[in-house]
Structure 1
């Protein structure tokens, strides 16, 4: 549906919801309350809602633990020794990969460091890393410490890309130009797939091709992209990526991360890595012998045995994703986000209070819109919260709103618009 067809009316929102083939998935999530009212939850980019099925998935493993004890590793439904494999089909579909290229493990910052051990091997001639300016602290601190660990100065080694003066998003041509400019000095491009502050989805395919053209690796932090933006990591030729599962993947606070390593590295035992026994050849693991032999594919980057309870909660959400279909979710996401954009522009008009800094092109964004607050500051955010809108405040003056297609409705967006309309009377 074209944005021109949208209407600022409750009946229109209700009609869209009635025609939404994914509408019933909303009932499979718990919604918190503010002031005894169910919230308008636009914060899936920070923490996704809890699927109602999580308790059953956890109870199943708790029962296995209670009834089988240590035998649960090799007996019973979903024996723990192989439990990581259960999430692979869904993860591969979500990120556009082969199953052997993905594995759920650790947490995002840990995985970033582990992957950099393999893909950042600086030399005096090739030691630089490109990242977007204002990257999430997970990336900033990791890169700084990795560079220092190898004896380089972060000021010299880390190249931060900034938007042009007066702009809020990076132009792809400027990213490509800087990659070419760094040339033979560039070791790695390690950017977000979706920039958390602005909501911009980067052209990962073009960036990867440009990095490879100068002999550098291309890797991405997909924390805000996974389960949100279209991803085709294998076909794009991305070297490595990692993500968290507690945002759009709705797997619970701080829950397990995941990694992608392109299959061209699947049989590269010579590639440097920090080895762990769960990454060792599965057929020989319990021989307990010296000499690390990495497993085929991404599994070879594992360190420790799987966190069974974490994976159970993770699987509850992944099963919902497979049932809904990532392409169906993307289709709804584009419509839902465009409706939110339409209503914000319709209501704020020339007031000068709000400015959407997220790209207008749906291909360059996920379901997040970042609103720059020119007047009122955090008081605007607090006003919305008191009326039941759960979004995300980011200093110095941005509110992030993420209408998530799995559990948000067009009526949610309309209800928010009415709250926005009232609040502008205070801050316009």
Structure 2
């Protein structure tokens, strides 16, 4: 039979009363099972919840289209022609960048490709691309295709850094040691800021410095870092970065992504880049010149005019981050994830479950990744039971990882208690 947690449900409720978060600003799905009306939602690392303000603000943009037609480009409440500029400042503040270094556009992998056109320039013996072995598949596909595009064999050109035998996460010193030994062969280092599988937060400034000291360009995929952990891309000297906004930035499925190019690269005429309608100076755009006149900002990497109705939800979400502040959210995140870890510590010594995410809060975001061992059942089946029997939504990465991400904007201490209580019940029944 299930043994109740030492930490009581009442204690979790008291913690929520003292540290309430911002759940009221979001639509929380109803529970699909269990005895609580709302889902305990831990899948914001896959898709964030919808802010309540999104619908009305999106409808206002749609109403301008109905009312104004083409004149909405200049006369809408939020004119469409410069609309993307409304997102630039908040996005820059979120990732620790200058406004001129930041642009919201496209989707994540499209942005990575556009940036690699500029920053992956193999020549001589310096041809290799370095990623982590557990990189998200789209990053693996992207770098392999870039290698092939340059006439290289991706099996030779792409280096996949692996943890030490018996370990789940990369050590910073091992990345640094590799770059010290092999850096003369590396053209580009492009790692995930927070690993999607393990939840490990990489030491972005230290690895950036090591890569650049070896003569390589260093870029970052921040899909699981933006909106999750504080970033200082400008001060850290990162060459480029890209991120999506449908996870921790709560901008909707397939939402527009962001890109960063460090100030030192802006306006460099020798830097190759793909160009299109929105890559040229806005003040001369309608002169319809045949040759682009790119601005000395990250806007020069734009290709197409932005989709207004996709930008609206990003703007709405970024306003929340501006209002609340990523530093305050990070502090609450550490409290929530620490509490979740404390509860898991009660059950994991006698259960076939292992937390593979680093225990040091400085080396992780909000996500804890649980390896489901023999005796606890299939990971996918466990996640299904958590949802349909207990109203706890997690997600699975096969073969054996269940990811649990208490998002500080809308997750609660009671959610964490529910998740671990339900997990203990499911595993006890399986055993």
TM-based fold match above 0.5: yes
- Which residue number in structure 2 is paired with residue 390 of structure 1? 393
Aligned twin of 1:35: 32
Unaligned runs of 5+ in 2: none
Show the 5 A alignment for 1:265-344: 265-344=265-344
Q: Structure 1: any 5+ residue segments left out of the alignment?
A: 1-5
| 1:321-375 per-position Cα deviation (integer Å, ceiling 9, x unaligned) | 1121111100000010010011011122233x10000001111100000000002
Aligned partners of 1:53 and 1:7: how far apart in 2?
A: 38
Contact 2:131 2:189 in 1 (8 A): yes
Q: Secondary structure at the match of 1:269?
A: coil
Q: What TM-score do you get using the length of structure 1 for normalisation?
A: 0.96
Q: What does residue 141 of structure 2 align with?
A: 141
What do residues 367-386 of structure 1 show as CA deviations (whole Å, max 9, x unaligned)?
00000000212332222122
Q: Distance in 1 between matches of 2:426 and 2:12?
A: 21
| Contact kept? 1:269, 1:294, Cα under 8 Å | no
Single out whichever of 190-199 and 269-278 deviates more from structure 2.
Answer: 269-278
1:255 alignment counterpart: 255
Give the SS at the match of 1:114.
helix
Alignment of 1:21-420 (within 5 A): 23=21, 25-35=22-32, 37-351=37-351, 353-375=352-374, 376-378=377-379, 379-386=381-388, 387-420=390-423
Q: Distance in 1 between matches of 2:419 and 2:250?
A: 22
Q: Provide the rounded CA distance (Å) in 2 between the counterparts of 1:417 and 1:8.
A: 10
Moved over 6 A (4+): none
Q: SS state of the match for residue 283, structure 2?
A: coil
> Pick from 405, 418, 429: which aligns with 1:426?
429
CA RMSD across the alignment: 1.4
The aligned length equals: 420
Deviation at 1:7, TM superposition (A): 6.8
CA shift for structure 1 position 134: 2.0
Structure 2 residue matching 1:309: 3-state secondary structure: helix
TM-score normalized with structure 2 length: 0.95
Shift of 1:9: 1.6
Q: Matched residues in 2 for 1:169 and 1:426: separation? A: 31
Residue 159 of structure 2 aligns to a residue whose secondary structure is strand
Contact 1:269/1:293, CA 8 A, preserved across alignment:
no
**Equivalent position of 1:3 in the other structure:** none
